[in-house]
Amino acid sequence: MNTQDFLTVLDYMEKEKGISRKVMASVIESALVTAAHKTYPPETEIRVTLDAKTGKIQMFAKLKATDRARPNPEEISIVKARSVNPSARLGDLVEIELDAKQFGRIAAQVFKQAMNQNLRSIEKTMIMEEFQGRVGDIVAGTVRRFDRADVVIDLGKFEGIMPARERVPTEEYTPGERIRALVLAVQQGQRGPEIILSRASHDFVRRLLALEVAELADGVVQIKSLAREPGFRTKIAVWSDVEKVDPVGACVGIRGSRVKNIVRELNNEKVDLFRWSPNIHELVIEALKPAKLRKIEIDETNHRVRALVDAENLSLAIGRKGHNARLASRLTGWHIDVEEDKTEVVGFEQKLGQAVQSLATALGIEVPLAQKIASVGFSTVEALVEATETDLSEAVPDLTPEQAKEILTKAQAALAAAKS
């Protein structure tokens, strides 16, 4: 490797890896000393200097002056010794300059191995120094490759790992895709320090919200509780000690701009924001929305809540695959049992009939179809708007995904018209 090659390496490592020329010069010097010891015994004192500006390298070794006809590797003939130091005597250590070209292929291989080992050690130290203080921050990177179910993400100078457990189950990632993730931890792995990333963590949503909502960063608004089913739904209870501040409005933003940015980043995961209350009765009502509760029974002793709803709100209260009820329990810290209130059976058929007729009129669909939709819990336009195409097509077996999409579009239009 000539002078220009060394300069090229120094420039590349400084620009691409962030390793200073001074540090790289030290790494190269150390690797050259290791390589030289393949020719000279380990006890031989070898010195290497590399000018980081010019790329000039000089290597020196202290060899013992001898009168042997064939000096050992750690020795130098007295004649050559005196050509360097005229006052040299037998047994003296004389420092001579070495020619790198005298080292063979084995020494070159050792140099390469030593370089790689030293660089890995430096990169490990840099990872620990740079990212140890960034745990809890959101970083952006490019999907590089997959290691089984883990996603390897290029963060620029370093690579991060998003383990399978920290992936969102509804998301698919492709090489070259730009994504954001939370720095969950920096820990020692089998191959050194690892930057562990997450998109499934509750704190990922917390941090996203803090980046969007200045009032959260300032402490004016607080997130009192947050529960998440990654990829499906997140419920967030917010609060403010400042009387004039609306914590929900601050998080939602003008025309929903702030919360829309969060939902977009979460790939359309549903986000429910509501005002936190120290009153468990009020908190449960908010946590189980969009369902409307008929009655709440609180068991302080066992820390349980029994939420009673009518038949048309039962599926909403429980949610798809139990998400709504489960998230409400996590958010409140109370065990919530959602049950149908059967105390008012009288008049139910009449109410259902009215709901079916209202639904048919609002959506412009046939009464039999409205009957099927209402019978599985979607008895109001509001309930339909909260549903997805999958929710509706799975609940009503005769309904195709295309028909479900058309009905949901009509429901959204009907609700918008009612509010205008």
Q: Provide the percentage of residues in the chain whose pLDDT is more than 90.
A: 37
User: What count of other Cβ atoms lies within 10 Å of the Cβ of residue 12?
Assistant: 12
Neighbouring C-alpha atoms within 13 Å toward the C-beta of 20: 4
Q: Of 157-166, 245-254, 342-351, which gets the smallest average pLDDT?
A: 342-351
189 pLDDT above the threshold of 60: yes
User: Who wins on pLDDT, 239 or 55?
Assistant: 239
Q: What is the pLDDT of residue 133?
A: 81
The answer to whether 400 touches 393, Cβ cutoff 8 Å, is: yes
Q: State the DSSP H helix or E strand holding residue 178, giving kind and residue range, or none if neither.
A: strand 178-189
**How confident is the model at residue 80, as a pLDDT?**
87
- 85-131 tens-digit pLDDT: 888 888 889 888 877 666 555 555 666 676 677 677 777 677 767 77
Rounded CA-CA distance 182/169 in Å is 16
Can you give the pLDDT at residue 6?
Answer: 61
Fold agreement between 3-128 and 201-276:
no
- What is the CB neighbour count within 10 angstroms for residue 4? 9
Nearest to 407 by CA among 375, 368, 373: 373
User: What's the mean pLDDT in 284-293?
Assistant: 92
| DSSP category for residue 175 | T
CATH class of 3-128: alpha beta
What does the pLDDT average to over 297-321? 90
Residue 207's closest CA among 266, 159, 257? Answer: 266
Q: How confident is the model at residue 176 (pLDDT cuts 50, 70, 90)?
A: very high
Q: In this predicted structure, what is the pLDDT of residue 349?
A: 67
φ and ψ at residue 300, rounded to 5 degrees: -60, -40
Q: What pLDDT score does 51 carry?
A: 75
Q: First and final CA of the chain: distance in angstroms?
A: 76
For residue 348, the model assigns a pLDDT of: 62
The CATH class of 135-198 is mainly beta
Mean pLDDT of 370-384: 83
pLDDT at position 257? 92
In sequence order, what are the residues at sequence separation of 6 or more whose Cβ sits closer than 8 angstroms to the Cβ of residue 59? 32, 36, 46, 47, 48, 97, 98, 99, 100
CATH of 201-276, one of 3.40.50.2000, 3.40.1370.10, 3.30.565.10, 3.30.300.20: 3.30.300.20
Q: Which residue has the higher pLDDT, 263 or 157?
A: 263
pLDDT band, very low/low/confident/very high, at 10 (cuts 50, 70, 90): low
CATH assignment, 348-419? 1.10.150
Domain residue spans in the chain? 3-128, 135-198, 201-276, 348-419
pTM, to two decimals: 0.60
Task: Report the alpha-carbon distance of residue 278 to residue 239 in Å, rounded.
Answer: 10
| Arithmetic mean of pLDDT, 81-88 | 86
Q: At residue 226, what is the residue type?
A: L
**DSSP H/E element including 47:** strand 46-50
The DSSP output letter for 227 is E
Mean of pLDDT over the chain: 85
Q: What is the pLDDT of residue 240?
A: 94
Which pLDDT band, with edges at 50, 70 and 90, does 363 fall under?
confident
Average pLDDT over residues 366-388: 84
Judged against a pLDDT cut of 80, whether residue 228 lies above it is answered with yes
